Each structure stands twice: as structure tokens, then as C-alpha cells.
Structure 1
Amino acid sequence: MTLKDRIIRLIETGGPIPVSTFMQLALHDPQEGYYATRPGLGTDFITAPDVSQVFGELIGLWVVHEWRAMGTPNPFHLVEIGPGRGTLMADALRLAYVAGGREFADAAQLTLAEPSPELRSQQGEKLKDYDPVFVDTLAKVSAGPMILVANEYLDCLPVRQFRKADGQWRECVVGLDDQGELTFGLAADEQRAPEGAAETSEAVEVQIGFDLLVADLVSRAGPMRALFVDYGPADATPGDSLRAFSNGEQVSPLARPGETDLTVDVDFGRLKRLATKIGLDVAGPTPQGMFLMGLGAQARLNQLVEANPDHAEAIFNNAQRLIDPKDMGSRFKAICLSTTGLPKPVGF
């Protein structure tokens, strides 16, 4: 029985399910979810570390700078959530070990929060020189000082969707049509206006994973920085942004659950409000292009071009995609959540 068949059976038995439940099953089901079985990095979607090594390298320099700003704790946890194939961290540590020297290398304890066995295998091979420790979730990272990075992680956290119909708010659900196929619909029960809804809003998304994320971060003992890079509006609540991708093409989110990547726009404004309310310091969100330029993107690009003159044009064009406001530079944002008492993080 496929994951789609199981979801249909679930709906036949208990009725329509919230969009957030559908996303959770499609992406994170341990047997047939997308990330457990078909992680299509480089085929279904391409992330910044795959575009240019400059991205990961600058993140590595950022980590070293913030480790020093924390007082060079030894040891400290260097954590990545959703590490993909390990490309970002491999690029980051290559420069971090140079910039931070032996002191940094001795202090950093690499921890990868990754539940997928297939991806753990790829990450372990690429990062074997750094002795990574694997955990299923952030909550399982041991206590102590921590610097966390996560690129394109927030966009795959499930969302509850709400839509206004006849002046009343109702939750969006996944049910079955007359042919027994998956279809979107609205729950019968009226809802109060969801968080972030404006008077003119017709649809609103609420990422329920944010609450648990900030709670995990604020509960940690010791100094902490958490850097997230993702796409979405800086201060507006997303409406209906659920999308699915297969081999680089946009497809229906309901067509092949578990076989396609699902993604939503990140509500950076809500994440900032939650983190501030619970007692974390927040820097950003800042456009990715400005963040990377503040970390020295131009200087690193010049170094790479000089060292590889035969590939100068490709190196420049790829790095430019990360920075150009017409490409990834504006749509992607960086946000940093920190324990109180630390100086403002570099790049913001």
C-alpha cells in the first residue's frame, strides 16, 4: 500500500485531515515520506550550497565569528538541522578550520539533526573527517553552548491553512472527491480569525512548528545562536503558498504524496514575534544578498576567481545568483535567534 493509499484510507475512516497533517505525512512519514525515501536535492530542488561554495564558506566564517563573540567556549555544539547531503557544512568547516585554527577545531562538536537514514549515510560519508554525531531532533542535542545553522529548513515545517468563505474563517483540509481522489476543501466548523489575519485577508497560513522550535531554543543552558536562511516575506503573513516540486517542475501537492517536495513560504514576522515573546534576541530578517555581502562575499568571490581563472565566469555567475535581488538575494532572508546578553551577530 502506497502512502497515498494510506492517506486515502485514513480519510475514509476518520474524515478530512488538516493540510498540516497531510504535509507531515507526505514529507516526514518514517516509511514513505519524501525525506525518508526520496530526498531529491539537486533534482527536485536546488539549494544555495549547491549553487555556489561561497554560501557555505561564508556561513563557516560566520560561525567562527559568533563562537568568538560567545567567548570561545570549549566545547560547543555546532548543529545543523536538515543538513541535506552535507554540502553546506563541508564548505563551512573547510574555511572555519582555517579561520578558527586549532582552537576552533578542538572546540567544535559537530551534531547533525537528521532523521532520514538515507541522508545520514550521505552526510556521514561527506563529513567523516569531522566525526559528526547524529540526532533525530533538536531537542536531543546535549546541553551546553550551541551555534545552529539551518538552510531551507523552516519552509518544510507543516502549516495550518485557513480561508475565508462567506465572511467566515474555516480551516483548509484534504478530503476525497466523488472519484475517491485527494482534493482540497474546507472544514465545516467555523474558526475565529487566525493569527496574522488582516481585515483584507482571504487566506492565512500558520506554521505550527515554530512554537516548538523557539521553545527548544530558549530552554537550552548556555549561550546560543541559531541562524536560519529561507524564503518568504519579511513581515507579511503568507496566504496560500503550498507548492510541490518534482524534477524542478511545479506539480500538484496532492498528486504523489511522498514522492514530491512540498514547501511553503516562511512567516518570518511570526517567528520573530514568538522568539521575542519567549525571551530570545532576534536579528533580522535580512535579505540574503545583504547578509552575504556583510560577511565578505565580494572578497571571497575575488579570491576564487583569481585562484581559478579558467572557471572565473561560472564562479562569478553562480555566486551572483545568491546575492542578486532579482534572483535569490532578496527573496531569501536570514534571521538569527540568540540567548540574551550576546553582541549583535555579524551580517545583520
Structure 2
Amino acid sequence: MGIGWRLAMQSALYGPEGFFVRPSSGPADHFRTSVHASPMFARALAGLVERVDAALGRPERFDLVDVGAGRGELLTAIGPVLPADLAARVRPTAVEAAPRPAGLDERIGWRRDVPEAVTGLLIATEWLDNVPLDVVETDEDGRLRKVLVDRQTGVETPGGPADPAEVFWAARWWPGPGRVEIGATRDAAWADAVTRVRRGAALCVDYGHRRDERPPLGTLTGFRAGRQVPPVPDGRCDVTAHVAMDSVALGSGIPYELVRQREALRALGVSGGRPPLELADRDPLAYLRALSGAGEGAELTSETGLGAHWWLWQPVGIELPLV
């Protein structure tokens, strides 16, 4: 007998034997994110930390919170590239369901929930796509019905009528016939995270879509060992779905910017442009380093890859545009 996708994802990802809580391997073993693609991503975010710090008036304590921190890779990479004065004031905190990994820098805090009060920058990189959600489909009479799934096989079957709240969300954010991934749980999760920021900013980086570009067949899928696989919710693969970014953006009631990663990173100095050829004659080693950096920058800003991710930027109590 099948169950709703939200409960299936919750068990498969965060249950006792869930994909994200197993100590034997981390997310980086199964899929590639911007954090893993290049240190340029961490350096760009370090620059953003500096901008937020300046806008806050350089407080004695700067909270740097990474929600969905994996094994702490992003915080580990940001710390060493911050200016010394700022690094001394930063209090990095990883928020993750998995146990604290062995060997992590002792200065990085580790917890399962977002801190109650944040003054600084809260970051969530590819977190919301793993927040469990329910899936509904339009039946032959035009009504929305729940989609149930077998946790061991991934086989789907039609369920009962969608809840009124699901119908309401779909009518506002994902209208039309077909398959609908109900994003209300993501809206609530992000709104709760943003409200923890007392002063500073919140940044959500994820792959997603807006109302005028919803995919009629949905986006639910799986990843294992670097390959896309069927989304079987048995705990052995990542189960993920793209994020309805416009719905998430409005959920907290805080003004926002929503831009593609390629725009945001270019504003922070990341470029995929080739270095000038004259540099090869003047300093061949510098040219090779610059060429390598250009390749990494091109991957981070690619229009068909990581550069297509969305950046949702929400300053709280400060005036600080992203681009």
C-alpha cells in the first residue's frame, strides 16, 4: 500500500536509515553542487559576508549559518578566505540532520535546527529541494488527487482527493491540469528560517521555477553515485524536486531579489571569461592558473548548468542589494 510522497521523502531522507543521516557517505558522493564544483563559489560568498558585515556596522559577533550544510564543506571553505578581523568575529554554524562529521573544524557549530536569533548571514544552498512535499495529479474529472508511492519500489498509485490547502496552493501557484508538486512545506520552511534573522540577510540558492514555467509533469527525481535515477524512496538515493521559487519568496513577507546564479556570481566578481593571450607570453604559469579559474567560473555561471540556479536574497534590517 502506498503513502503520500511527503511522508515517503521524510522517511527516505531523514529517517533512522535515511539518505542524509547515514554516516558512511555524504551528499557530495552522490551529486555535484556549486560548493563542490569550485572554491570560487566559497570565495564569492565570503565577499558577500564582507558586504553584510559592513552593512551591519561590523558587529562584535557575526553569525554565519549554513542550513542543509552537508558535511560542512561550505563553512570550511569560507573561513580561511575571510579577512582576519572578520574571521575572528564570525561564528559559523552548520544546520544538518546528519551527525557531526569527524575532523570538522571545532570552531564550526553543529545543530539540527536553525538558531533562534541570527545577526549576520543565513545561507541555504540546495536545501529546499530536499524539504519533503506532497504530489497531486489531475484526474479525468479535472479534480486534484493525491499521488501515493510504494516506498520499496517507487511505484505510484492514485490516492484520495487533495486536501483543501493543497487545492488552494495549487490554484495560486501551479494552476492547470497535470502533475503538481505542492510547495507549501518549502514555503513554511524558508519563512521560518528567514524569521530567525534579526538583522542581516538570508540567501537561498536552489534549482527551481516560477509560475509561468511550471513543468507539467513535475520534477521529482533521484540521484545516486553521481547519476540520475528513479526516485525510489527507500533511503538509498537522494529524492529531490525543483523549488517553486516565487512562492517561497513571498512566503516570509520580506522584500526580496530573485536572480539567476550567473547574474549573482558575476556581480560578486566570478567570470568564466578566458584570460588575455598576452598573459601567456608574459607569465605562462599565471595564464594557466587564470585559465583554470575561467573554466571553474564558466561551470558556476553556465546558463544550462549551475548558473541557472536561482538566488533568493532577502535583507533584514539593512539596505543591501544583491546585484
TM-score w.r.t. the length of structure 1 is: 0.80
Alignment of 1:188-267 (within 5 A): 188-189=160-161, 191-192=163-164, 193-197=167-171, 199-207=175-183, 208-218=185-195, 220=196, 222-235=198-211, 236-237=213-214, 239=216, 240-254=218-232, 257-267=234-244
The structural deviation recorded for 1:57 is 0.6
Residue from 34, 44, 67 that aligns with 1:58: 44
* Aligned ranges 1:1-348 → 2 under 5 Å: 11=1, 16-29=2-15, 31-37=16-22, 39-96=25-82, 98=83, 101-102=84-85, 104-117=86-99, 120-122=100-102, 125-128=103-106, 131-138=107-114, 141-166=115-140, 167-175=142-150, 181-189=153-161, 191-192=163-164, 193-197=167-171, 199-207=175-183, 208-218=185-195, 220=196, 222-235=198-211, 236-237=213-214, 239=216, 240-254=218-232, 257-276=234-253, 280-284=254-258, 286-298=259-271, 309-330=287-308, 332-339=309-316, 341-346=317-322, 348=323
Secondary structure at 1:297 match in 2: coil
Kindly provide the amino acid, as one letter, of the partner of residue 18 in structure 2.
Answer: G
Distance (Å, rounded) in 1 between the aligned partners of 2:219 and 2:272: 36
CA distance in 2, matches of 1:238, 1:70: 40
Residues of 2 paired with 1:221 and 1:149: CA distance? 11
Q: 1: CA distance between counterparts of 2:260 and 2:9?
A: 27
How far did 1:312 drift? 4.4
Aligned pair in 2 of structure 1 residues 148, 191: CA closer, same or farther (>3 Å)?
A: closer
Code of the aligned partner of 1:201: P
Q: CA separation of 1:294/1:26 partners in 2, compared to 1, >3 Å: closer, same or farther?
A: same
CA contact (8 A) 1:76 1:109 kept: yes
Q: Distance in 1 between matches of 2:52 and 2:104?
A: 24
Query: SS at the partner of 2:257?
Result: strand
CA shift, 1:86, in A, is: 2.6
| SS of corresponding position for 1:127 | coil
Post-superposition Cα deviations, 1:34-63, rounded to whole Å, max 9, x if no partner, equal 011154434321111211111111001101
Aligned residue pairs: how many? 307
Q: Could you tell me which amino acid in structure 2 is paired with residue 292 of structure 1? A: L
* TM-fit CA distance, 1:209: 3.5
SS at match of 1:36: coil
Q: Flag structure 2 segments of 5+ consecutive residues without an equivalent.
A: none
Q: After alignment, is 73-82 or 32-41 more displaced?
A: 32-41
Q: Structure 1 328/73 Cα, relative in aligned 2: closer, same or farther at 3 Å?
A: same
Aligned counterparts of 2:20 and 2:274: Cα–Cα separation in 1 = 32
Q: Output the CA distance in 1 between the equivalents of 2:130 and 2:13.
A: 8
Distance 1:329 1:216, change over 3 A: closer
SS in structure 1 at match of 2:169? coil
- Give the superposition deviation at 1:187: 1.1
Q: Structure 1 residues 234, 223: closer, same or farther in 2, change over 3 A?
A: same
Letter in 1 for 2:266: M
One-letter amino acid of the counterpart of residue 240, structure 2: T
- Change in 2 beyond 3 A, CA 1:190/1:217: closer
The amino acid of 2:156's aligned partner reads F
Percent of matched pairs sharing the same residue: 22
TM-score by length of 2: 0.85
Q: CA deviation at 1:299?
A: 9.8
